Structure 1
Amino acid sequence: MLRTGLGLCFLLFISLALSAGAQTTDTIEKDSLKIDTNMLNRYRLFPQKNAIPVKNRPLQIQPEYLPVNLMDYKVSYWRKNITFALNFNQAAFSNNYAAGGVTSVALGSNFIYHIEYNKAPFSYVSELNLLYGKSKNKGQGARKTNDRIFFDNKWASQLSKHWFFFGSLSFESQFDKGYQYDPNNVNPPLLISDFMSPGYLTESIGFEYKPAKYFDLRLGTGTARQTFVSDTTIYRNNPGNYGVTPGKTFRNDIAFQIVAIFDKDIAKNMHFNARYDMFIPYQQPLSYVRHRFDAILAAKVNRLINVSINGTLLFDKNTSNSVQGTEGLSLGVLYKFP
């Protein structure tokens, strides 16, 4: 009996020991699983530094140009315009008109072709100005009232905001013969000018100052002018012969030239254009400095009708010892395109 009781006690003790060991193992396994879960959560929230090195490259953004089909637009650096003016004046008197007067007809015309090219830093300006007018009084022959051919070309390269280096070429003459008339109508008219008698060709290089679009100042430090008198008989009526030696047809002068141009709308429908030209020859005294001032003030009445007044002042000792001048007032048709 005693042996049997001891055996049962021994079996019971072993059973209790195995049960406690199983519970301990289960607790350790649960705790281990709990630790692993916490570690996973920790790594998920606070990831550790990667052991593999990774290079950080800066983000680069570049423009991507997409093809766009443009319409047929072209950039033009040229600007052109044409101005044509025609003035007509007429007066009629009966033979018995008490206040007196002379029947007369006068016609004047002006044609201007202007072209510009502007593409920085280069520019080119060309202008052709043609003037011609005649009047006819009863009992007298037709007489010129205006006659001029002027062709000016200028090339320029920009040096700074307002300064340019320029080269220019200009030509000046007239269309028709010019006469000096006897105020008493006793002596026949004397021929004193004609086409290319005189004629002027001027080449100039220098510096240009242009502070505004409407003002232009040229300083021609190197200027040459050729004077032509193709009619070798004009000196008989004009002893000065425009500075050309009688019997010859050509004279060349080296000079310093100043040209100032003002061209602006000074009021609504009113435009003012003025040009001053001073020519200082190096080979002659200062008394032979040539001054010429041309101005025209034009006011538009409507789209076609305009009123204009123009004038010229000239001092040139090669043609006269005193100041010469002309003035005209006209009402007529003016068309400008575009």
Structure 2
Amino acid sequence: MMIVSVCYAQKKADSIDISSLKLYPKKNPLPARRPVLQLQAVQIPEADLKLKVNYWRNWVTFGINVNQAAFSDNWSGGGVNSIAVGTQFNYKTDYTRDYKNYVSELILQYGKLKNRDQMQRKTNDRIFWDNKVGLKLSTNWNFFGSLNFESQFDQGYNYSKGKTGEEIRTLISKFMSPGYLTESLGFEYKPGKSFSLRIGTGTARQTFVLDTTLYRNNSKNFGVPIGRRMRNELAFQLVTNYEKEVFENINLKARYSMFANYHRLSNMDSRLDATVAARVNRLVNVTVTGIAIYDDDQSDKIQSSQTLALGLIYKFPR
């Protein structure tokens, strides 16, 4: 009987359910309070911040290109030894604040070509300085005043052959012969950064020929009466500027100016400058430049010029 009782007690102990003895912590036994954040503006005097706003923007471009060719004396294909060097410097600054704007652009270009057994010749020679002050009238219209100067660095020659075949050069231009100073007032239409149109209703231009002997080689004397050094004109002027990156790494820049003397409105002077620059890498550019001019004070026909250059171009800022 004793043995049976022990077995029964052991069996009863094995059948006890101990799951109810497991204790689990309650959810969120210690509730946490989220703090309420309150942000308040702190007023700091501007003098303590020492902040300065720069309303000026500047761009600088400098470039040089060199072309050279050499042939041996027995070169069957023919050819002339030559070397050409060209340089350019562009500087542009822009000041814009509220409704006021000032833009100044300086372009300096000069190039020389030397062929064997020939005199040196210029491939490029230009001084161009344009200044414009504008007051905003509306979203796309400004009232502007501008001052523009243009001339050349070096003497210019016309080349011909003498009776014995020798080369003869004749002086036809030089620094400030001619030189142009143009003042203009009017309205500017500028719908975006790429395009602008100036309408100069009140424009005056002074043409300078400081060398009074140039008329001997240039009968037109750039429109300045013989014996005088300056001629003044009142005119209506249009100036358009367009600059945009038309494709990736390809930039197009064009400027057209029209000058119509109020006494000869039917006979207008026009000049078109167009430049296409393709960037090969950070320093190397390929540039194609074209110029077309019609000015009856210089020639009765359209003058044209075209250049193709591969050279080093450095721009700041990049």
Q: What is the TM-score of this pair, normalised by structure 1?
A: 0.79
Deviation of the 1:337 alpha carbon: 1.0
1:150-299 matched pairs, under 5 angstroms: 150-182=128-160, 186=166, 188-284=168-264, 286-287=266-267, 289-299=268-278
CA deviations over 1:170-229 (Å, ceiling 9, x no partner): 000000000011168546111110000000000000000001111010000000000000
Letter in 2 for 1:153: N
1:68 to 1:247, Cα distance in 2 relative to 1, 3 A: closer
Q: Partner residue of 1:337?
A: 316
CA deviations over 1:117-157 (Å, ceiling 9, x no partner): 01120000000000000010000121100000000000000
Q: What is the TM-score of this pair, normalised by structure 2?
A: 0.84
Q: Which runs of 4+ in 1 moved over 6 A?
A: none
- Tell me, in whole angstroms, the C-alpha distance in 1 between the residues paired with 2:54 and 2:180: 33
Pick the aligned partner of 1:324 from 300, 303, 309.
Answer: 303
Letter in 1 for 2:131: N
Letter in 1 for 2:204: A
- Tell me, in whole angstroms, the C-alpha distance in 1 between the residues paired with 2:232 and 2:167: 35
CA deviations over 1:280-335 (Å, ceiling 9, x no partner): 00123522x10000011001100000000001000000000000000000000000
Gaps of 5+ in 1: 1-62
Q: Partner residue of 1:310?
A: 289
Gaps of 5+ in 2: 1-39
More helix by share: 1
Deviation of the 1:67 alpha carbon: 2.2
1:87-102 matched pairs, under 5 angstroms: 87-102=65-80
- Tell me, in whole angstroms, the C-alpha distance in 1 between the residues paired with 2:41 and 2:195: 45
Q: Partner residue of 2:63?
A: 85
- Tell me, in whole angstroms, the C-alpha distance in 2 between the residues paired with 1:235 and 1:189: 16
Q: RMSD over aligned Cα, in angstroms?
A: 1.6
Larger Rg: 1
State the identity as a percent: 52
More strand by share: 2
The DSSP-based 3-state class of the residue aligned with 1:116 is strand
